[in-house]
Structure 1
Amino acid sequence: MATTMSPLTTEELHHFHKTDRSLFRFLIFKLRRDITQSLLVMALWLWLEHIGYPNLIHTIMQLQNQPSLVAAAVDEAAACLVFLETENLSSGLGGGGGGGLFLTKKLIQRDISIRIFHERRYTALAGIKSVLKNICSRIFLDILHGNKNILQKRNKNNNHHKYGNVLVITSSKKRHNSNFTNLSTSPGFRHTFFGDIIDMMMTPPPQLVEASSSNLGLLHENNIWNGKRPSDDVCKEDRTMFLTFSRGFPVSEKEVRELFGDECVESVTMGGGGGGNDGRQKLYAVMVLKKVAMVDRILNGKRIAKHHINGKHIWTRKFEFHSYC
């Protein structure tokens, strides 16, 4: 007989993520790190735990009596987030992108380097965004609300934040009309790919309290994504690519599916060169994949990748939408 799950209370949710919440408080109140940066760093660490680097947050929290070490770990994570924006492996840590995460590697006692954020760039972006929406917005929202005045006052005159060898200055062009105006426009750490993180935190997913314990992993740790990983919980934007073809060498939809694997492709929309069935060559296509990991596999760390089929060239790049999903 199937059993029904009782509604999850906020207290139960907060208790399950007690260590995560304690570390988040430590970052913003003890270390006085930028709020948005702290949210993104926590999301990145949670994502790393879900892809196979367990107990990272617990290990870092054990260093709270050595705040300089925690700050160094934050610096490494923040630099990884900046690296996701660069599209340039040579600009990574450790000269050439092969290392860089020396403290993180020591803490988890496993091999990890900045290169993962080059080779799995779009998987990381989608996974971190999913963690922000599904976890961070549920477990940190009350901390932001409950300490709104303190955080606003602290960030009022702060216009930059330096970490490691990277200095990030944020834009204050966009203004908001919420009670968190000073937080939403507070200078410090920003990241293009995640939009306005504070706004996302101000609009948490529905059924914050009503969610069952099964889909938040209270009974089984691995059930937090209902059998999926964070990078599986992505919108179409994250899985869409733009393909271009050489004039004079027509490529069919069948060839596109054959090249990238029909089992991996959700849809292909051919375009350019005229509409309908006028016989004119299609010059580009928009391809939606079933998994965001395929985007990284196709691009292989490049911004634009070149592929061949039947003697024809196909250039691929990530499709950029003008609006967020």
Structure 2
Amino acid sequence: MSSTIPQILPNPDLGFKVIVTKEEFNLFHNIDRQLFIRLVLELGREISESINVMAFLMCIEMISKEFNLVAKILKHWSNVMLNMLADEAVFILDCIVSSPYPNDCVREKKLPLIQHILHHNATFEFFHEKRLELITDVTKYINEVCIRAFTDIIEHVIYNGVTEQQELYRANLYGTASLPTHMLPQAAYYTPNDCPIVPQEIDDRTLFITFSRGYPVSENELRYFFSREFGDIIERVMMQEVNQPDQHPLYARLVVRREGMDVINYLLEYNPRLKFIINGKHVWVRKYFSKPPPPPYEAGTSWYFP
């Protein structure tokens, strides 16, 4: 037999190294790459933070021994739930890098999604006790997996400027914008069943939504996004009134149907301000809080966002 036939048997030298190409490595971690893409592109989260979140989820896979965890999240979790999970992961990582245990404010935070994954009533104390082990494992996954598997994605994100900070409309920061006339609370309006709804009851079910200047979001886009993510929960959408053809609304109010409030209250309980990505545009959502109505002799006074 010719000596030129390649060796196909295992190399008897136990010290040999197998060379894995970049393409093979990326293919092996394809599911991790897809979830990372959702974090940085669809949810608009920071690159470094998303790398830490991915490394933490890989650790959770090992702790829970649920080795298809990332695949399940990728396939079955909506962006809303993924964003909440990432927030919990960030809280935990902030906790474990602190040598002294964080203050009581952190103790009060809950970890419902992490607890659901682990099937365990995991608390911040639980993770802080394992902080040295977790820091070692997270760092290992960052260096050995994340940096290698996500390099091209990171370059793409940076090149396209996805991580640039966008200006928040001042009402989202300070809540000082006056309501246009058509958005002022009325004495009452009627549901399809002719049941009068008083303004305070409406306010309790209202979300205040703001957009980034230069990235307009239409009412149809809002309706489609909220219906797709949460189901048939929309009762009414009120967009900011604009006077010029080249102007676009910078905020809106969305009234949630009574039966949809459980979902919204659950989301806002742990995150009073939520950030969504609608067709590549950042949208911020929080509960709407109105000031008490003016006394009768000040009937002409405008209403303001808190």
Smaller-chain TM-score range?
0.3 to 0.5
Q: What TM-score results when the alignment is normalised by the length of structure 1?
A: 0.43
Point out the structure with max Rg over C-alpha.
Answer: 2
